[in-house]
Amino acid sequence: MKIALAADHAGYDEKEHIKATLHELGVDFEDFGTVSTESVDYPDYAKKVGEAVAKGEVDSGLLVCGSGTGMAIAANKVPGVRAAVAWNEEIARLAREHNNANVLSLAARYTSPEENEKIIRAWFGASFEAGRHQRRVDKISEIEQEERSK
């Protein structure tokens, strides 16, 4: 498995911490930046990760910003991306199992490194259940198609 990893300035330190967890889990990653705590615009990084996921260059994405929300909003603008903000293990697991989320967005300022590690483990330990959830995910794709055709 290979993922795209990125953070803005607020999430930089947490992104660097997360790399050890990814190594432990055997998850290969490409780091799309940022490379310091110097202020940057989070949409630039969310777009890079989202595009890599949507093009199939990676299996999924992992984003980190202050709240997790800005990165998720920006990533969700890329067709084919289903980014979820997770603040605990259950939310991460359900995002994968029920929503087939393909990008995880974490909050560096509001979730401890220890909790983020648990969230990441739950995320990578879960998979899409399909079944009754498939038609809902299909409807998300239909919305994207409708919006593109306008």
- Which tokens in the block code for residue 68? 């997790």
Residue of 17, 23, 65, 133 marked catalytic: 65
Instruction: Judge whether 92 and 124 are in contact, CB under 8 Å.
Output: no
Residue of 9, 17, 23, 98 marked catalytic: 98
How far is the CA of 118 from the CAs of 43, 51, 58, 89, 98, in angstroms? 26, 26, 22, 6, 19
Instruction: Judge whether 64 and 11 are in contact, CB under 8 Å.
Output: yes
Angle CA(6)–CA(55)–CA(130) in degrees, nearest 5? Answer: 95
Is there a catalytic annotation at residue 17? Answer: no
Is there a catalytic annotation at residue 65? Answer: yes
Q: Kindly list the strands in the beta sheet with 28-31, ordered across the sheet, starting from the edge strand earlier in the chain.
A: 28-31, 2-7, 60-65, 103-107, 83-85
- For residue 62, which of 110, 99, 14 has the smallest C-alpha distance? 14
Catalytic residues: 65, 98
